[in-house]
Amino acid sequence: MKEVLAYPANYWQTMYEIWLFVAVAIYLVVFIPGAYFLIKYRYRKGANEKAQHVHESKALEVLWTIIPTIVVIYLATHSFAFYKVQRTAPESAMEIKVTAFMWGWEFEYPNGKKVYSFFNSVVNPETNAYLSPDKVNDMFKAYIPAGTPVKVLCTSRDVLHSFYVHPAKVMEDCVPGRITHLWFQINQPGDYWTFCREYCGTQHSKMAAVLKVVPKEEFERWMKEGMQTSNESNKQNL
Amino acid sequence: MAAISYRPYFSAGLKEWIFTTDHKKIGILYGVTSLVFFLIAGLSALAIRMELYQPGLQYMGEDAYNQALTVHGVLMQFWWAVAIWSSFGNYLLPLMIGARDVAFPRFNALSYWFFFAASVLALLTLLPGNHIRMMWTGYPPFSLNENAGPVAFYVLIIHLLGASSLAAAINLVVTNLTMRAPGITLKKMNLFLHAFLAMNVIQILGVPALAGAVTMLLMDKYFHTAFFDPTRGGDPLLYQNLFWFYSHPVVYVMILPAFGVISEIIATFSRREIFGRTSMILAIWGIAILGFMVWIHHMFTSGVPDWIRIIFSYTTVLIGVPTGIKIFNWIFTLYKGSIRFTAPMLYILSAIFMFLIGGLTGIPLGLPAFDIAVHDSHFIVAHFHYVLGMALTLAVFGGFHYWYPKYTGRMYSELWAKIALVLIMIGSNLFYFLQFIVGLEGMPRRYADYPPIESWIRLHELQTIGSMILGIGIALAVLNLILSTKFGKKAEDNPWQSPSLEWLVPSPPPPHNFDKIPHMPEDWDPYNYDWLEKHHKKQ
């Protein structure tokens, strides 16, 4: 089996392919007879000057009520089965807390480590133009272990935002006063976009953050970095 | 017919236009206002497309972009997609049922002047300092924020439009049910009238929900209540529920009349009755009822419980069934017809084609497993521009051309109407089809700027070129309609040879429509084209 870039994007991909097949089939079922009738029954001088009358056909009408009903109920049921997987994080998932604000993201890891990404951390400060994700300063990147399921608990500090993980093809709104959830797993190391998908004001279109997916060992090392000292200083303060 | 000549109603003076209670003049007032705002909204769309041509901000800042998008959304929805049907309904409904005016003519004038007041307010928001930047949905808590602009304008606009829509809806429903001329039974009524009946019932049931939602928004923002403010115990999702309880059914307020127009034109130019007329009427009401049971699909990623999403995914996809019935019936109306390819026919055939694509791409948006990746992406934007943007606009322009000789007594230029249609179809498909693709690739909606991903840039460039072609096409179609009022050939009273009642009066119709209320005989039917031939031979 070829390696999938990200979960649960594979389910979306399958759903997309099923729908595309059904949609193209229905399109042809409508378009071909439509085009044929338009050509065959066009008005010509001396031929087909008068229409013939066909009021209705019970059989046809029942047919195009029942078959579409079956097709759409099948699609909804298929989606139901997939959606359950897309919404249920595996038991082993690592939990991170994502808090959205105008305009940026806070990522909090299980050991308390936090990463902040702001609307101006993904742009070139001189031109205000978007950088490509690998050019963004590592300081602003949320590190994610490759091949590990991650469950995101999302909320917002001010207005509605939406957390969309580009390679995993999942999103969920971040609602102030509520905690929403989604999960994903990215299998190949690299830099990936996440975007805000709910309109939130001036810098909405720059409210992106970069996920830096790294091998597990590197992630463990990174997560501990900087935490040691702060824990010690906490002890000293106590 | 008595040879009394009337002054053409459109040559009336200013005073007469302002104080008129004639349904035809009010219909024209609605139409002109609607068209002016359609052009403003269209220009703001072109500005948006220019900005998206390349990544980065070249022509306007984020705030200007957000304002342009808000203007585009609000004006296109309320001034074009909803209000243009008030124009058609007012002008044609009394003519089609053999009445001299609507049931409450002064109430009718009031509903236009409410609409006019809302139009003035909408223009005021274009002044610096009054810019609203919260998108047409106006979700709190963002709309409670300073960044959103003066929300009170928006709330008042919605209230004025709501009052106008309610008044118009009640008026047209009463007119339709009580003032039909003898012989026009509910079963024999034009499908256009059935569509307007269902559409107005939706308005009456739905508008109060939106009015309530925006009133709460106003109170939250200015009187410190806490309906939607989570920091004081409110719930922002309450607004979304109330908002979409009206704003989903309103898409059927927009599209059902378009279906009505399509049915009229396709029957006339196939020279035969609508195939499966009973199932067409049942489908209209099926859509109207189901339309109130699907609003959660706008909230599939908003944090509502998963089981609610699943229930609403079933109701949502089921709407595809009555819609499918309508499309199949239209296709089979062509069967054994004698099809004339006039401009209005070509416009509505294009509308059916665009609606088919829009409908098929709407089905996956009802499937949460698919929607989870494309909600609030350009995919959904492309979907509703196929159905509401293009299918609706093409049906409206089909209607403009079809009833043009009735309205003005003149003919439009057939050639220019067809050239405009070709440009519109090339431009819109280049534009919106690529918008599907960039949406599938993840491009979020309402972004003034986007990251320089190679394929996104190319797709956006082509979309902008498409939008310019579309803009030229629309401009040509509108110019043709305007110039033909002066230079068009004189039209006959019934150039399309239709037995539908509006065609049996002179063009343009006299102020009182009918010299005496017509009694329609047993064998008459608005789609019985043979009846007309017999009738004319007798004369």
Residue B82: what pLDDT?
95
**Do A76 and B366 make contact, defined as CB atoms within 8 angstroms?**
yes
**B83-118 pLDDT tens trace:** 999 999 999 999 999 999 999 999 999 999 999 999
Measured from the Cβ of residue B178, the count of other Cβ atoms closer than 10 Å reads: 10
- Residue A206: its chain B contacts at CB < 8 A? 449
Residue B539: what pLDDT?
43
List the Cα angle B144/B130/B227 in 5-degree steps.
20
| Pairing mode of beta strands A94-101, A150-156 | parallel
Return d(Cα B338, Cα B272) in angstroms, integer: 8
Residue B535: what pLDDT?
72
Q: What is the mean pLDDT of chain B?
A: 93
Residue A46: what pLDDT?
84
Measured from the Cβ of residue B285, the count of other Cβ atoms closer than 10 Å reads: 15
Cα distances from A38 to residues A27, B337, B345, B433, in angstroms, run 16, 9, 11, 24
Residue A200: what pLDDT?
94
Taking the Cβ of residue B215 and every Cβ of chain A, the question of whether any pair is shorter than 8 Å is answered with no
The average pLDDT across B335-348 equals 95
Q: What is the largest CA-CA distance in chain B?
A: 77
Cα B289–chain centre separation: 19
Taking the Cβ of residue B237 and every Cβ of chain A, the question of whether any pair is shorter than 8 Å is answered with yes
**Do B375 and A16 make contact, defined as CB atoms within 8 angstroms?**
no
**B172-198 pLDDT tens trace:** 999 999 999 999 999 999 999 999 999
Residue B16: what pLDDT?
87
Residue B536: what pLDDT?
64
**A19-38 pLDDT tens trace:** 999 999 999 999 999 999 99
Residue B4: what pLDDT?
52
In eight-state DSSP terms, residue B34 is H
Least CB–CB distance from A175: residue in B65, B145, B236? B236
**Do A78 and B313 make contact, defined as CB atoms within 8 angstroms?**
no
Taking the Cβ of residue B305 and every Cβ of chain A, the question of whether any pair is shorter than 8 Å is answered with no
Instruction: Write the ipTM.
Output: 0.93
Residue A45: what pLDDT?
87
Taking the Cβ of residue B461 and every Cβ of chain A, the question of whether any pair is shorter than 8 Å is answered with no
Taking the Cβ of residue B303 and every Cβ of chain A, the question of whether any pair is shorter than 8 Å is answered with yes
Residue A235: what pLDDT?
56
For residue B508, whether the previous peptide bond is cis, meaning omega lies within 30 degrees of 0, is yes
Which pLDDT band, with edges at 50, 70 and 90, does B3 fall under? very low
Residue-level length of chain B: 539
**Do A175 and B302 make contact, defined as CB atoms within 8 angstroms?**
yes
All residues at 6 or more sequence positions from A140 whose CB lies less than 8 Å from its CB, including other chains? A115, A116, A117, A118, A121, A122, A209, A210
In eight-state DSSP terms, residue B490 is B
For every one of its 238 residues, what pLDDT tens digit does chain A have, with 9 covering 90 and above? 457 899 999 999 999 999 999 999 999 999 999 999 999 999 998 888 888 888 888 999 999 999 999 999 999 999 999 999 999 999 999 999 999 999 999 999 999 999 999 999 999 988 889 999 999 999 999 999 999 999 999 999 999 999 999 999 999 999 999 999 999 999 999 999 999 999 999 999 999 999 999 999 999 999 998 776 555 555 555 5
Residue A49: what pLDDT?
85
Nearest one of A236, A237, A238, A226 to A113, comparing CA atoms: A226
Taking the Cβ of residue B227 and every Cβ of chain A, the question of whether any pair is shorter than 8 Å is answered with no
**B484-536 pLDDT tens trace:** 998 999 999 999 999 999 999 998 898 889 989 999 999 999 999 988 877 76
CA distance to partner chain A, nearest, from residue B151 (Å): 14
CA distance to partner chain B, nearest, from residue A81 (Å): 9
Cα A192–chain centre separation: 12
**Do A38 and B273 make contact, defined as CB atoms within 8 angstroms?**
no
Residue A133: what pLDDT?
93
**Do B448 and A158 make contact, defined as CB atoms within 8 angstroms?**
no
3-state secondary structure string across B39-74: HHHHHHHHHHHHHHCCCCCCCCCHHHHHHHHHHHHH
Residue-level length of chain A: 238
Outline where B58-129 has alpha helix (H): 62-74, 83-97, 105-124
Element (H, E) at B175: helix B151-178
Outline where B376-453 has alpha helix (H): 378-384, 392-408, 414-440
Return d(Cα A206, Cα B10) in angstroms, integer: 51
Which residue in chain B is spatially nearest to A166 when comparing CA positions? B442
**Do A199 and B235 make contact, defined as CB atoms within 8 angstroms?**
no
Which residue in chain B is spatially nearest to A199 when comparing CA positions? B446
The average pLDDT across B410-438 equals 97
Measured from the Cβ of residue A120, the count of other Cβ atoms closer than 10 Å reads: 14
**B223-240 pLDDT tens trace:** 999 999 999 989 999 999
Return d(Cα B191, Cα B266) in angstroms, integer: 11
For residue B141, whether the previous peptide bond is cis, meaning omega lies within 30 degrees of 0, is yes
Q: Is the pLDDT of residue B210 over 60?
A: yes
Cα distances from A141 to residues A6, A156, B246, B463, B467, in angstroms, run 18, 19, 41, 32, 37
CA distance to partner chain B, nearest, from residue A222 (Å): 27
Q: Is the pLDDT of residue B318 over 90?
A: yes
Percent of chain B topping pLDDT 70: 97
All residues at 6 or more sequence positions from A234 whose CB lies less than 8 Å from its CB, including other chains? none
**Do B275 and A171 make contact, defined as CB atoms within 8 angstroms?**
no
**Do A37 and B442 make contact, defined as CB atoms within 8 angstroms?**
no
Which pLDDT band, with edges at 50, 70 and 90, does B272 fall under? very high
Tokens of B301: 């990623």
Kindly list the strands in the beta sheet with A94-101, ordered across the sheet, starting from the edge strand earlier in the chain.
A6-7, A180-186, A150-156, A94-101, A104-108, A114-118
